[in-house]
Structure 1
Amino acid sequence: MANADQVPVNSGFHAKSTGAEVLAEIDLAGKTAVVTGGYSGLGLETVRALANKGATVIVPVRSPEKAAETLATISGDVTALPMDLSDNRSIARFAGQVAEELSGLDLLINNAGIMACPLERVGPGWESQFGVNHMGHFALTKALMGLLAAAEAPRVVSLSSTGHKISPIRWDDIQYETSEYDKWQAYGQAKTANALFANALSRRLKVTNGLAFSVHPGGIFTPLQRHLPKEEMIALGWLGEDGEPSELAKQGFKTPEQGCSTTLWAATSPLLEGKAGVYCEDCDIAAPTDMYSPTARFFGVNAHATDDDAAERLWSVSEALLEVA
C-alpha cells in the first residue's frame, strides 16, 4: 500500500532554496538536534543552519580531529561526541552519553552515508552500504527512541536519494552473500531502505506526536563521491574531460547550502503536519514518479520506496538483524 499523502504541498521554496532561506521564519531556540555526518558536506551545512537559529546540536563523529577543525567554523552550541555507525557498541555508547545530557531530543537527522563503494563487511557481516546507511541509523534511532518520546512533537529525517530508483530491497539476498556484488545496486537498495525506514518509523512515533520523513537532497559534490574515480564521474556526466564539473552538473547540481534545504524543511515545516512518512525533494513532498516522463530517473519517488507493507517488512528484518549483531 502506497502512502496516500505523497502529494506536493506547494511549499513556496524550490530546488535552489538555501537552508537559511528555509529557516528564515523558524525559531529553534531551546530545541536539541542530533545530526549524523554533521562535520562535512551537507551535514556540516545542516548543523550550521540549525545552530544559527538557536538549536543545540550534537554531532556524532568518527574522526574527532577532522570534526574539530570543521565544526570550529560554526558559531553556536555545537558539541561533538564519538560514534561509528558501523559499530553497534559505539552507537550504544553514544546514545548513553546523549541520554545523560538531554531530557528529550527534538530532531534526529540521519544524514551520514557512503555511496558506491567496493564490497566491504561491517558489523556481523552486513554489506557496508546497507549496514552503515540503514542499519547504523536504525540502531541509533532505536537507541534514542526514549529521548524522542520525551520531546514535544519530535521529528526524524532520513536522507534517502533519487538513487532509490536503482533498486528495491533485495529480499532474497540483502547482504550479497550469494549474488555478485554491484556497488550501485547496493547503494540503491540502501537508499530505498532509508525511505522505507522513515515510513515505518512514522507509525511508531505517532503515539508521541512525532513525525518521520525521508528526503532526497539533490545532486551535490560532497565527500560522498570519495569512492568514485574521476573516469567514472566523467562517464556519469558529472565531470567534463578536464575534470571540472560538467555543464549538466553546473545546471542541475546544488551547492551544499542548497542541498541541506530539503532536510531542514522536513525537520521544521508546519506544512508537513499530518503527512507522516512521506518522501521529500526540492523542499516539498515529492510526487510519485511519472514513469513516462523523460526526467523519471531524477524526479519523483518510486512506489517501492513508499510501500507501507515493504516498510513494515524491512523493520522486522532490521530488528532481527540487530538482535544477532
Structure 2
Amino acid sequence: MTMHWNKLEIPEQNGRVAIVTGGNTGLGFETARMLAENGAAVILAVRDIEKGRQAAARIAGNVTVQVLDLASLASIHSAAADIRDAYPRIDLLINNAGIMYTPKSTTADGFELQFGTNHLGHFALTGLLLDRMLPVPGSRVVMISSTGHRIQASIHFDDLQWERSYSRAGAYGQSKLANLMFTYELQRRLASLGTTIAVAAHPGIANTDLIRDLPALFRRLIVPIASRITQTAEMGALPTLRAATDPAVLGGQYYGPAGWGEVRGFPKLVTSSAQSYNQAIQQHLWAISEDLTGVKFPAA
C-alpha cells in the first residue's frame, strides 16, 4: 500500500451494487464515478432525474438513475420499492446527499428541512433497504457527516424541529451529529451479524455547491477564503471511498482528511465529538427517528 490511501487503492468492485444518494454532483458524483470505474453497478439516487441522467452520461460504467427526494417519506418509500424490485442484493448504501445552512423550512412531512433531509431521510431509506444488505458479506452502510457536527453540542430533543427559534448553522450541526449517532447505533445493532457494517466519513472542506444556501453576503466573504484551503471534490470523496471499500475498515469507524483540522488531505481514521458517542442519546434518537418516520429496521 502507498503511504497515503488514494483512488488507486480502491479494490475491484465487479459484481457489487452501490447506491449513492445525491450522486449527480459534487462528492456524490466523484464517489459514484470512481466506484463505477472500478466495476460496481452504481445507482444514482437523486431528486432531479434529468440532472441524474446527465451525470450518468459522464460516467464510464454501469450506472442507472433512481428518483429520490429525501425530504419526502412518500418518495423514499417509492424509491426503496423500485430499488428492491430491481436489485435482490445491495453491497453499498452511501448516504451522501445533504443540504447545508438552508433558510427555515420544512420537508413534505413537516420536519425541519436539514434534520429531515440529512438525518431522517437517510434513516428511513436505510431501514427500508437494509434487508437487501444483511445477507451480503462485506456489505456496508456509509454515512457522510461533517466537521460541522461539532457546531451543535447536542440533539435539541426539547425543540427537535427548531420551531421556537431557528439557527441555520445549529440545525445543520444537529443533522450532522445525528448522522454520526445513527451510524454508531446502527453498527451496535449490526455487530452480532458479522456481514453488514456501518461506517461514517466526512470530506473536510471540498469545492462543491453545498454552500449554495448560504446567505449571499456570507458567500461573498467566505468563498475567497475557502478557495485557498478547500480541496477538490475528488479528494473530498476519498474518505467516503475508503470507508466504502478498504478491506481494513471496521464497523463504527469514522474517516476524514489527514491534514490540519481535518480540512484537507488523504483519508485517515478520525474521531468525532464526545457527545456523538453517548449511547443513551443515540438510542433515544433512534427511537424518535423510528416514530417520526414510521420505519422499523429489520431485527439484527
**Normalising by structure 2, what TM-score?**
0.90
Matched, 1:155 2:140: yes
Residue deviations 1:269-292 (CA, integer Å, cap 9, x gap): 12223xx222221222204xxxxx
Matched, 1:126 2:126: no
Matched, 1:309 2:280: yes
Alignment match of 2:67 (pick from 74, 82, 94)? 82
1:121-270 paired onto structure 2 within 5 Å: 121-167=106-152, 168-177=154-163, 179-206=164-191, 207-235=193-221, 238-240=222-224, 246=225, 249-250=227-228, 252-270=229-247
Aligned amino acid, residue 21 of structure 1: L
Structure 2 unaligned residues grouped into runs of 5+? 258-266, 296-300
- Find the residue that maps to 2:59 and give its secondary structure: coil
Q: Determine the C-alpha separation between the residues in 2 that align with 1:228 and 1:120.
A: 14
Number of residue pairs matched? 284
Alignment match of 1:112 (pick from 97, 113, 129)? 97
- Find the residue that maps to 2:248 and give its secondary structure: helix
Offset of residue 47 of structure 1: 0.4
Matched, 1:272 2:249: yes
Matched, 1:281 2:256: yes
Offset of residue 309 of structure 1: 2.3
Would you identify which runs of 4 or more consecutive aligned residues in structure 1 move more than 4 Å?
none
Offset of residue 233 of structure 1: 2.8
Higher mean C-alpha deviation, range 305-314 or range 118-127: 305-314
Change (3 A) 1:134 1:74: same
Residue deviations 1:210-260 (CA, integer Å, cap 9, x gap): 11111111101212111123420344xx323xxxxx3x542x311011010
Q: Is the 8 A contact 1:62 1:82 kept in 2?
A: yes
Residue deviations 1:171-193 (CA, integer Å, cap 9, x gap): 1111012x210000000000000
Matched, 1:46 2:31: yes
Offset of residue 11 of structure 1: 9.1
Q: Determine the C-alpha separation between the residues in 1 that align with 2:230 and 2:123.
A: 29
Q: Determine the C-alpha separation between the residues in 2 that align with 1:171 and 1:229.
A: 27
Percent of pairs with identical residues: 39
Q: Determine the C-alpha separation between the residues in 2 that align with 1:183 and 1:152.
A: 40
Q: CA RMSD in A?
A: 1.8
Which fold has the larger relative contact order, with Cα–Cα distance below 8 Å and residues 6 or more apart in sequence?
Answer: 1
Offset of residue 322 of structure 1: 1.3
Change (3 A) 1:106 1:100: same
- Find the residue that maps to 1:144 and give its secondary structure: helix
- In structure 2, the partner of 1:97 is 82
Q: Is the 8 A contact 1:103 1:150 kept in 2?
A: no
**Normalising by structure 1, what TM-score?**
0.83
